[in-house]
Homo-oligomer: A and B are copies of this chain.
């Protein structure tokens, strides 16, 4: 049975069910495991000695929260992350996650629409963690991200995208020229329809889906190795050969 790719609608439904009276997870739990998986993916592909300076780009929603958690774990792994989060969401959890990063002595750029600080940070980074937009992204790309995404691409730095590369249509894929083309993608819970044809290295994280839900939605998730929080998926080219 092939792994299921989720429409944006089904991804939303599963996310809600994980946290409602059925799933009973708190957002703190899910975000912690998701962010840990993102940090582990980046650290698996980009070794600390060569790629210590990670620019963690965070959007205004829950994916930005995943980014903050990932930044903290990267700090704990010995990387030197910097956070760019120009439009911090208003939820109380983002403020807590931000303080947790402060306590790890992780620098956060001042939230501003001016892209100067971002440009400067890009020139002093080795790799980008793209936690800008996730499965609830609806076009168009709004300011300041409309101008920021091209800057990330033009930097030439390797990019690790979380869940859905920023700017991609969750159901249809890369239909906007400003959308990122990441080297690595870490899907969370289950991959989304729009990334079926994604050609880079592709990992899955979010090893928290209960059996009851995996069966109900026939997710056919791959088997994670041992105690790992991530599993690498076959590349799109490879699967097409099968």
Contacts and interface: CB of A to CB of B under 8 A. Distances in A.
Interface residues of A, number: 33
A219 to B, nearest CB: 14
Contacts of A77: 226-227
Contacts of A76: 207-208, 224
Interface string A221-242: 0001011000000000000000
Interface in A61-112: 75-77, 95-96, 99-100, 103-105
Contact of A29 (B32, B43, B75, B213): B32
A103 B43 contact: no
B227 A44 contact: yes
Contacts of A22: 103
A172 interface: no
Interface centre among A26, A33, A227 (most CB of B within 10 A): A227
A211 B104 contact: yes
Mostly helix, strand, loop or mixed at chain A's interface? Answer: helix
B28 A96 contact: no
B28 A100 contact: no
A23 interface: yes
Nearest to A223: B78
Contacts of A32: 28-29, 32-33
A66 to B, nearest CB: 13
B28 A103 contact: no
A152 interface: no
Given A24-B96, A100-B210, A104-B211, 10 more contacts: A23-B100, A24-B95, A24-B103, A25-B96, A26-B26, A26-B28, A28-B29, A43-B226, A103-B212, A104-B212
23 contacts: A22-B103, A23-B103, A24-B96, A24-B99, A25-B96, A25-B100, A26-B26, A28-B28, A28-B29, A29-B32, A32-B33, A39-B227, A40-B227, A43-B226, A43-B227, A44-B227, A76-B208, A77-B226, A77-B227, A103-B211, A103-B212, A103-B213, A104-B210
